[in-house]
A and B are shown apart, each in its own frame.
Chain A
Amino acid sequence: MEELLNNYTSVFPDTATSWVRVGHTSDFPENGGACVKHGKLQIAVFNFSLTSKWYACQNLCPHKLEMVLSRGMTGDTDGIPKVACPLHKKTFSLEDGSNLNGESYQIATYPVKIQDNMVYIGFSDK
């Protein structure tokens, strides 16, 4: 399972080489998350409608390597948007993927773009 982790590296708006349409905005629950598939990758997409922001990260929780993060609860701490893994409530920043419980593992994040009510995620596919 560890090799799964290597599939995920953070992409930033300026390093994205392709923007992939993953669904209509209404496919994603408000102030919650859902999972999309891109090739081998599972990406969790979060719609923070309270702040009108969207975030995306790997669906794989780096703690026990299960594909569950999109099913976690979202929220913020000191203004940092975050997701809590449904298995052990490990929390991660959706801005930079860092672990907010002070543990070493972190997650990869991906940029999200909304155009004409469609949701696009930026990848840097080789």
Chain B
Amino acid sequence: MKKVIVIGNGMVGYKFCEKLAAHPDFEAFQVVVFGEEPRPAYDRVHLSEYFSDKTADQLLLAGRDWYASKGIALHTSELVTAIDLEAKTVTTHKQAVYEYDNLILATGSAPFVPPIKGADKKGVFVYRTIEDLDAMKAYAAKLKSGAKAAVLGGGLLGLEAANAAKELGLEAHVIEFAPRLMPRQLDDAASAILQAKIESLGIGIHLSKATQQIAGDEAIERMEFADDTHLDVDMLIISAGIRPRDELARACGIQVGPRGGIVVNEKMQTSDSHVYAIGEVALYNDGIYGLVAPGYEMADVAVHQLTDGSKSMAASIDMSTQLKLIGTEVASFGDPFIENEEVAAITYVNKRNGIYKRINVARDGSRLYGGILVGDSSDYNSLFQIYYNAMKLPLNPEDLILGSRGGDSNILGSVLDLPDTAQICSCESVSKGSICKSIEEGTCSDLKDVIKCTKATTGCGGCKPMVVDLVNETLKALGKEVKDTVCEHFKYNRQELYDLIKIKLIKTFEEALARLGSGCGCEICKPVIASIFSSVYMDTANKQPVIQDSNDRFLANIQRNGTYSVVPRVAGGEISPEKLIVLGEVAKKYNLYTKITGGQRIDLFGARLHELPLIWKELIDAGFESGHAYGKSLRTVKSCVGSTWCRYGMHESVSFAIEIENRYRGLRSPHKLKGGVSGCIRECAEARGKDFGLIAVDGGWNLYVCGNGGATPKHAILLAEQLDDATCIKYLDRFLMFYIRTSGPLVRTAPWLEKLDGGIEYLKQVVIEDSLGIAEELETEMQGLVNKYECEWKQAIEDPKLASRFKHFVNSDDVDDTVEFVSLRDQKMPRPW
């Protein structure tokens, strides 16, 4: 057993334990951890949330039980007071002595308190630990309402602290010595945008202020500045930088830097080869790194050095950062300030929306050196990768922040162009290579797997969009189509399910689940499979009611208050006075609201569930049949009056519309289908706004396909000209069947055509020239469906078992007494929501 002692249980000290515990050689180690704070390591990055919505326990990175479960001895509230390098021991303030083989110094840093007169007064705090926050909270509670708190330091942590002060209900002010906020990350223009945003939230910003004295009797009352101005405050939080906690190392003779920090090499080793230093205490390449990501990286390196020796620290540490500060997105990467003979800055300022973007680009356009984003950091991931991997820039580098105006919006090109070493998830240090490899080697087959096995995206989550892209692109590159599967229960798309059901002669949903899917199904796959059964076998919705979409299950359209509307078929919009009277009488008898639909029929609203079979009995007795207004199926074929009456009409549009509507009635499809027939080019039937439309011309019909009205209107496109009636029907059979076979669920003909490779020309080849050799098959299939048509409402009322579903209560004949109507222009409507 190798004895490892970790001094310091902050974020980086914890990360070391986590990484070591996850290492395959962990069993060879005995780990003892000392933390001077009373609780295990917690998330200091989100410390201000302690005042808003998190408890100390919620901020913990891992509870005590985690350390126990890993066999790690955690001593909190125990301070190490001395290290003996010769004896390889440490001594704690309890005079306990512990031996080590390797020592990890993760002692972190302490807040730097500048030597300002009065800094020892009551009401002056630093901002680092939960105890600091508790003390601030207790002090603030005793102040009068409207009290003011100042934060000394306008860096990243200072702004967090100002947010914390605001959360305490204090009027917050930020005092910064430099002429701008976050001087290490932002330039003046970026700072100005951030300042405006923060001030708009009621936080005061005071720049270029050198604090000379903290005045007050016993407690702080006033801050006095070098420019003879002052600010009255009741509390002060100092956040003016950090000092590495190197006192233990210094005392035992380990080498420290002239301005503090324990000197380490690329292995994180100190001047004593058994002792390592990581995190904010480590002085690497003459620098101290106060960000969590480099600290985690150091922890990882130390773990590898103790085990397989496979990793050392990169020569330059990247200080790029992306975060949300007081609600504003801020990011800074690479060298945010560089500008010289070789490098030019490109900036975009939008004061209206509070957005600033800057990129520093080689004047010859060869590479990106760094940049700043304020107000909108959504491009950070892409920009960081381009900078970090010295990738080629677009012809107009400004496209990187402005978007390429016209055309491709992805500034990175393909994510697959990134080098394998590109770090995608910096929280968990996951490279592009390891994500792609996990898929290429077959360990992972989708996003879920990749996240589980690489841990990518589990930290801050900022890399998620890029990980998603990488997974999809890698799958595509492997020829594994990123499938538009129907849902979690079927790993097929609609077309594949259609073919499989047909070939395997699957007839019930349960059988489809057992042979092609898994689970219980859901509201997405059930209607898709139901529609396929209907298209393959001409099953009506009565065969398997529970897998139908809710409207099909009850053969009616559910409306606002849970009542239904009834729409009988009125083919071509032609209706006799007798039938009109029947509709009127039924509507009167059942007190239904009536309205003419857009498809030249009559809609009867407000029928209760149990009334549906009664209403339909009367309608069917009078010669009506279902209008399938509730289904993804043929709705209506609208017509103008045509040559029988109209003095301009060229052909009999009504007769032909009726013939077509009756041919395809009951036909279920991926989405609703509408048709139209116009008797002349005046187009009164609006046939070109339909999935299929016929317009009478000299010598026959022009056939248009794939139009629709609705939210994205599309004119139907000419498929063939001057057709006789029979050819028209032949082409329609082929077209409709081809669409039903190949479309995705709930995709109407217009978007289907848009996605069809080759578009209308290809469709012409299939339908007219029979380029696929399936025309006859399509016609036969359609004729089969036409022959099997039955009115499903007739079925439903004739079979008492089928009719039993139209009852509100299973155990009572009562009606639903919660349904309410109010009156509207001599009729009724549901009580409004």
Contacts and interface: CB of A to CB of B under 8 A. Distances in A.
Interface in A61-100: 64-68, 71-79, 81-82, 84, 86-87, 89, 91
A87 B546 contact: no
A124 B810 CA distance: 21
Given A23-B811, A50-B510, A67-B562, A30 B816 contact: no
Given A29-B805, A35-B808, A78-B488, A71 B523 contact: no
Nearest to B609: A71
Interface stretch (B277-285, B309-317, B548-556): B548-556
Contacts of B545: 29, 32
Contacts of A73: 522-523, 526-527, 546-547, 549-550, 553
B761 interface: no
Contacts of B258: none
Contacts of A16: none
Interface stretch (B513-521, B688-696, B771-779): B513-521
A48 interface: yes
Contacts of A27: 810-811
B558 A71 contact: yes
A51 B521 CA distance: 12
Contacts of B53: none
B810 A71 contact: no
B642 to A, nearest CB: 39
Contact of A50 (B520, B523, B526, B561): B520
Interface in A27-46: 27-32, 34-37, 42, 45
A99 to B, nearest CB: 14
> Could you tell me the dominant secondary structure of chain A's interface residues?
strand
Nearest to A30: B546
B645 interface: no
B229 interface: no
A28 B562 CA distance: 20
A74 B546 contact: yes
- Counting chain A CB atoms within 10 Å of each CB, the highest count among B551, B558, B808 belongs to B808
A36 to B, nearest CB: 5
Given A32-B545, A50-B510, A74 B809 contact: no
A114 interface: no
A79 B522 contact: no
A68 B554 CA distance: 12
A82 B522 CA distance: 8
A48 B814 CA distance: 26
A3 B266 CA distance: 68
> Could you tell me the dominant secondary structure of chain B's interface residues?
loop
A79 to B, nearest CB: 7
- Counting chain A CB atoms within 10 Å of each CB, the highest count among B527, B551, B560, B809 belongs to B809
A126 B546 CA distance: 35
Contacts of A48: 520
B488 A77 contact: yes
Contact of A75 (B523, B560, B809): B523
Contacts of B550: 71-73, 86
Interface in B460-501: 488-489
A86 B521 CA distance: 16
Interface string A1-42: 100100000000000000000110001111110111100001
Interface footprint category on A: 35 or more
A29 B264 CA distance: 72
B546 A64 contact: no
Contacts, number: 104
A35 B809 contact: yes
A66 B558 CA distance: 11
A89 to B, nearest CB: 6
Interface string B504-518: 000001100100000
Nearest to A83: B523
A84 B510 CA distance: 19
A86 B558 contact: yes
B811 A22 contact: yes
Nearest to A65: B833
Interface footprint category on B: 35 or more
A10 B489 CA distance: 29
B807 to A, nearest CB: 8
B745 to A, nearest CB: 14
B95 interface: no
- Counting chain B CB atoms within 10 Å of each CB, the highest count among A23, A48, A65, A75 belongs to A75
- Counting chain A CB atoms within 10 Å of each CB, the highest count among B509, B550, B561, B810 belongs to B810
A87 B564 CA distance: 11
A126 B526 CA distance: 40
A77 B814 CA distance: 34
B520 A75 contact: yes
Given A50-B510, A71-B554, A31 B520 contact: yes
Nearest to B548: A73
A54 B520 CA distance: 13
Contacts of A42: 809, 816, 818
A30 B805 CA distance: 12
A87 B549 CA distance: 11
A48 B513 CA distance: 14
Given A66-B562, A76-B522, A77-B522, A28 B546 contact: no
A97 to B, nearest CB: 17
B812 interface: yes
Nearest to A73: B523
A4 B141 CA distance: 43
B168 to A, nearest CB: 28
A29 B545 CA distance: 9
Contacts of B510: 31, 50
Contact of A84 (B523, B562, B814): B523
A36 B520 contact: no
B523 A81 contact: no
Interface string B533-548: 0000000000001110
Contacts of A82: 522
Interface string A94-121: 0000000000000000000000000000
Given A35-B808, A64-B833, A68-B562, A75 B526 contact: yes
Given A29-B545, A50-B510, A72-B550, A67 B818 contact: yes
Given A29-B545, A30-B546, A50-B510, A74 B520 contact: yes
Contact of A68 (B520, B523, B525, B558): B558
B544 to A, nearest CB: 9
- Counting chain A CB atoms within 10 Å of each CB, the highest count among B545, B812, B818 belongs to B818
Contacts of B523: 72-73, 75, 84, 89, 91
Contacts of B809: 35-37, 42
Nearest to A75: B522
- Counting chain B CB atoms within 10 Å of each CB, the highest count among A65, A79, A84 belongs to A84
B562 A29 contact: no
A66 B830 CA distance: 11
A37 B558 contact: no
Given A29-B545, A64-B833, A71-B554, A34 B520 contact: no
Contacts of A4: 818
Contacts of B818: 1, 4, 42, 66-67
Contacts of B553: 32, 71, 73
Contacts of A64: 560, 833
Interface string B209-251: 0000000000000000000000000000000000000000000
B140 to A, nearest CB: 32
Given A34-B810, A75-B489, A75-B522, 7 more contacts: A29-B805, A31-B520, A31-B547, A36-B811, A51-B520, A73-B526, A73-B527
30 contacts: A22-B810, A23-B811, A28-B810, A31-B520, A31-B521, A31-B546, A31-B547, A32-B545, A34-B805, A34-B810, A35-B808, A35-B810, A42-B818, A64-B560, A67-B818, A71-B550, A71-B553, A71-B609, A72-B550, A73-B523, A73-B550, A75-B489, A75-B522, A75-B523, A75-B525, A78-B488, A79-B519, A84-B523, A86-B551, A87-B558
* 9 closest residue pairs by CB, A with B: A75-B522, A32-B546, A86-B550, A84-B523, A73-B523, A76-B520, A66-B562, A37-B812, A68-B562
